[in-house]
Amino acid sequence: MKKIEAIVRPSKLEPLKDALMHLDLKGMTISEVRGCGNQHGWKEYYRGSEVAVNMLPKVKFELVVTDEMVKDTIDTIIETAKTGEVGDGKIFVYPIEDVIRIRTGESGYVAV
Ligand SMILES: Nc1ncnc2c1ncn2[C@@H]1O[C@H](COP(=O)(O)OP(=O)(O)OP(=O)(O)O)[C@@H](O)[C@H]1O
Ligand SMILES: [Mg+2]
């Protein structure tokens, strides 16, 4: 099992949600986040401290999937979220040790 975390443009929220719904994913979590990437953006000094002023709004998708679904999920995210311009976002893949369904106590693959 893997956790796929994708940080994408807010305009891609609906298209990506729809595209992922077409894969047989078991669930997903979406959050509104702010961040910066390689360009680091601007920094300003405020009362002697450096402050980042351009943490841009992004949307984060968190998907825990079985190993067989990893490739299709990543391909779908890239196909849907890519514009080719800087700031398209990033995908992080993490190993998942276990998943527990609270209602039933099931764990592992069946609980994803
Ligand atoms: N190394 C990182 N760690 C954590 N979050 C990151 C990292 N890189 C990017 N992000 C998140 O992804 C968002 C989009 O990043 P972005 O697409 O600008 O990455 P990039 O490496 O600058 O690529 P590009 O050059 O295409 O802009 C950021 O706003 C931030 O929320
Ligand atoms: Mg960037």
Average confidence (pLDDT) over 29-33: 97
Is 7 near ligand 1, meaning CB less than 6 Å away?
yes
CA-to-CA distance for 89 and 91, rounded, in angstroms? 7
Cβ atoms 96, 6 nearer than 8 A:
no
pTM: predicted TM-score of the whole model, two decimal places = 0.90
CATH classification for the domain delimited by 2-111, as one of 1.10.3720.10, 3.40.50.2020, 3.30.70.120, 3.40.50.12780: 3.30.70.120
Ligand 1, closest atom to CA 37? 22
pLDDT of residue 43: 64
Indicate the range of 13-17, 84-88, 104-108 predicted with least confidence.
Answer: 84-88
Is 86 near ligand 1, meaning CB less than 6 Å away?
yes
pLDDT, greater one: 100 or 86:
100
Residues with CB under 5 A from ligand 2 (ion): 37-39, 86-87
Cβ atoms 62, 28 nearer than 8 A:
yes
